[in-house]
Amino acid sequence: MRAYLDNGNTTPVDKRVVEAMKPYFTEKFGHPLFIYSEGKEANEAVENASEYIASTVGSRDGVVTFTSGVTEASDLALRGAVRARKNEGNHIITSEIENPSVLRVCEELEKRGFEVDYLGVDEKGFIDLEELKSLVRGETILVSIAHVSDEIGTIEPIKDIGEIIKDKNPSTYFHADIAASYGRVPFDMEKAKVDMVSLGAHLIHGPKGVGALIAGDKIELEPVNYGYLSLSKIRPGTENVPGIVGFKKAAEVSFEDFDSKVERIRSLRDKLISKIESTISKTVLHGARGDQRSPANVNFSFKNIEGESIMMHLDMRGISVATGSACATRKLEPSHVLTAIGVDPVVAHGAIRFTLSRMNTEEEIDYTLEVLPKVVKKLRKMSPMKS
């Protein structure tokens, strides 16, 4: 049996998505900028996808800019916004537990003279709303906070955050990376007073190589890349039309029977959490519980052993999981998110993240629950660390 439980990093493409994309490879292959038949067909597909995807995040007049993925979308959101608004201020706020796609851009902006405040979080990963309130000021041109932590699954109170920002400075742009919540946690950008969201298709069983930035129609953005014309005013280059069509289809499948799909994932999550806690000693669940946690996320440390070793041993038995943060796979530093919520570095090294999707089955979870205690037991026996 193979149980893929790293859907927070990427997901298998749904077969219906592949079917939807197929004609756009071989038949409806036109360039959407051109006004002959093949071009019009492609153009229409991109327009339809824009409209539909905007509707799934509660955007009525939003402008959808298709990108090569979440990373490019967040880069465009952050740098595009501060470039457009650099005369109005140079202050940016984000949090310590953002995905590297946001943090690396913020670090780059610091080098270019912007002042960036990194909000702290509590032991469950909730950002400090009082700190946020105290930091937003006249020169604050941008706040970027993810809806859900991709690593520990904590659902931030996005509406409260939006209200605090807009109360203190209505002209501050609020960007939310919703890659980890899209299709899993209900979200409405207008209700939450979010001006821009970044999302990616390959996290909802769509194809890699396509993402989107959705921004309110009054949001000013400057390009961060230059080149050949496209349908977008701010993002150059030929649109990935089949990818965009696949993105739309993946979203359609995700939002069809949304509640029951999410309920199923949540029940798998709860089974995984409760059984791990009842069958394995010395575990620490990172992040919040219940409704405050993404239905797709489980993140545990197993004391006295390395997450890296657990991952390798699970892989040998057919189970794929991540250790700590996605980006931490090829370096051995403890995850920046676990550090931010105050986890001891030694404990952080024993962290394993399981991310579920609607494609996971109860059998896969049962199999994981059968294998995991044995792996942990074996590794603890071999461990040089005191138990």
Per CB under 8 A, the list member of 56, 67, 169, 297 interacting with a second copy is 67
Does position 322 interact with a second copy (CB under 8 A)? The reply is yes
Cα dist from 339 to 166, 287, 310, whole Å: 30, 12, 20
Contacts of 134 (CB under 8 A, 6+ apart): none
The rounded distance, in Å, linking the Cα atoms of 93 and 10 is: 28
The rounded distance, in Å, linking the Cα atoms of 333 and 116 is: 23
Does position 178 interact with a second copy (CB under 8 A)? The reply is no
Per CB under 8 A, the list member of 147, 202, 261, 266 interacting with a second copy is 202
Cα dist from 113 to 82, 86, 91, 120, 225, whole Å: 11, 10, 10, 22, 20
| Site residues (CB under 8 A) for a second copy, limited to 37-56 | 37-39
| 126 touches 97 (CB < 8 A) | no
* Ramachandran bin of 83, using left for φ above 0, alpha for ψ from -120 to 50, beta for the remaining angles: alpha
Q: Which residue type, as a one-letter code, is found at position 294?
A: S
Length reported for the chain: 387
Q: How near is the Cβ of 305 to a second copy at its closest, in Å?
A: 17
Does position 364 interact with a second copy (CB under 8 A)? The reply is no
Beta strands in 286-323 (DSSP E): 297-302, 319-320, 322-323
Among residues 280, 327, 340, 356, the one annotated as catalytic is: 327
Nearer to a second copy (CB atom), residue 104 or residue 124 = 104
Per CB under 8 A, the list member of 268, 288, 311, 352 interacting with a second copy is 311
Per CB under 8 A, the list member of 132, 234, 326, 343 interacting with a second copy is 326
Rg (the chain; Cα; Å): 21
Q: How near is the Cβ of 164 to a second copy at its closest, in Å?
A: 26
Does position 87 interact with a second copy (CB under 8 A)? The reply is no
| Site residues (CB under 8 A) for a second copy, limited to 208-227 | 208-210, 224-227
User: Is 106 labeled as catalytic in the residue annotation?
Assistant: no
Q: How near is the Cβ of 149 to a second copy at its closest, in Å?
A: 15
Instruction: Write the DSSP string, 29-85.
Output: ---TT--SHHHHHHHHHHHHHHHHHHHHTT-SSPEEEEESSHHHHHHHHHHHHHHHT
| Site residues (CB under 8 A) for a second copy, limited to 270-309 | none
Nearer to a second copy (CB atom), residue 53 or residue 132 = 53
Does position 105 interact with a second copy (CB under 8 A)? The reply is yes
Interface region with a second copy, contact rule CB under 8 A, candidates 64-72, 122-130, 270-278, 367-375? 64-72
Q: How near is the Cβ of 363 to a second copy at its closest, in Å?
A: 18
| 385 touches 304 (CB < 8 A) | yes
Nearer to a second copy (CB atom), residue 312 or residue 385 = 312
Interface region with a second copy, contact rule CB under 8 A, candidates 166-174, 201-209, 285-293, 371-379? 201-209
Per CB under 8 A, the list member of 50, 56, 59, 74 interacting with a second copy is 74
What is the C-alpha end-to-end distance of the chain, expressed in Å?
31
| Site residues (CB under 8 A) for a second copy, limited to 113-152 | none
Nearer to a second copy (CB atom), residue 35 or residue 382 = 35
Per CB under 8 A, the list member of 56, 94, 144, 240 interacting with a second copy is 240
The rounded distance, in Å, linking the Cα atoms of 53 and 160 is: 24
Q: How near is the Cβ of 291 to a second copy at its closest, in Å?
A: 28
The rounded distance, in Å, linking the Cα atoms of 189 and 176 is: 9
| 98 touches 164 (CB < 8 A) | no
Which of the residues are catalytic? 327
